[in-house]
Amino acid sequence: MDLHFDIVGAQGPKRYFDALTREKISHAYLFSGPSGVGKKTFARRLAQSLLCLAPKEAVLGYDGTCSSCMLFAARNARHPDFLEHTGALKIGERDVAMGFYEGDELHARDLVRQLSMQSYGGGMRVLLLGDVEFASPAAANALLKFLEEPPRGVVMLLTTPVPESLLPTIRSRVVELRFPRLSTAEVAEILTRMQYGDADAKLGASLGGGSVTRAIAALGGEDESLRATVIGWFFETLRGKAPPSAWASRETLDEGIETVKTLVRDWIVANAGDGVALVSLDQEKRLRALRPIGGKQAAALLVRLDEAQHLAQTNVPPAMVGELLRMALTTVVSS
């Protein structure tokens, strides 16, 4: 039989599940690792595999044609034995007997109640809590209760980029699997599968830093406007036009400094002539047209960028950090 489990990357988790049988599967997993590397996608495919009705030994793999798989493919339906929630989980009303998804959002109490019921399909039930956070200690405790006495046939999949944020008592009761950053080639492959053209896939992969989410943002999401603004500001500053760094706010500072660092790194390697590829492929011409920078000057600039990045984590006003960046760049061109 033809089974699918088509996931790019995630070699470690794939190896882990390939070595398991369905009987040996744990009742709770934590998928940790950077944002945008496919943790939730993997979890959904794993859920589909576990609920697929095709007879099989392996944990990973589904036929894509059974009635269970059809529910995963349907746009307007959801599988009654697969529950998914993303983000902060609230505790919910104690005495309101609300069914799953009947309210506006999923609450921890509903969840525990629902998981204690029989599955609809007579098989497993799978719960996915993506980017899991708890709105209150009570919500975390409700989940902890579940983990202490897991109902039979329930598999809980948690994902988070910050496993340290979870209670140690929760973390110690789940099997943690680490999802590494994707390679540039893997990001490009995923973007190609998502119907991006070759040039965009290549650019997105280059800017994505191993994250599909970042790649897509850089190609035209909200980040694009920030990135474009910071790029414009960067080149203007180097031309001595010295505009104020109006892009620097509490929300944008981190990402903005990251963009400046990438540009500076590209500026340094662009003229080094040792064949190192630029990250900012779309800015290659402008970067190569800049006066070469290297040696002590480059090192000093990188130190000042690191200082700015450090200050961005403190209470120093973002506009002031932006001004320090501007001065660091201006010093390089005027020296």
Chain residues that interact with Zn ion, rule: CB under 5 A: 52, 62-63, 66, 69
Output 48 or 280, the one with its CB closest to Zn ion. 48
The amino acid occupying position 332 is: V
Output 72 or 179, the one with its CB closest to Zn ion. 72
Which of 190, 42, 268 has the alpha carbon at shortest distance from 204? 190
Cβ at position 255, least distance to Zn ion in Å: 40
What Å distances lie between residue 183 and 237, 259, 276, 323, CA to CA? 33, 19, 17, 34
Cβ at position 293, least distance to Zn ion in Å: 57
Output 63 or 200, the one with its CB closest to Zn ion. 63
222-260 in b/e form (b: 16+ CB < 10 A) is ebeebbebbbebbbebbeeeeeebebbeeebbebbbbbb
Taking the C-alpha atoms of residue 225 and residue 233, their distance in angstroms, rounded to an integer, is 12
Degrees, nearest 5: CA angle 322-325-330? 125
Taking the C-alpha atoms of residue 160 and residue 158, their distance in angstroms, rounded to an integer, is 7
CA 209 to chain centre: 11
Which of 31, 39, 15, 14 has the alpha carbon at shortest distance from 171? 31
Which of 124, 97, 132 has the alpha carbon at shortest distance from 113? 97
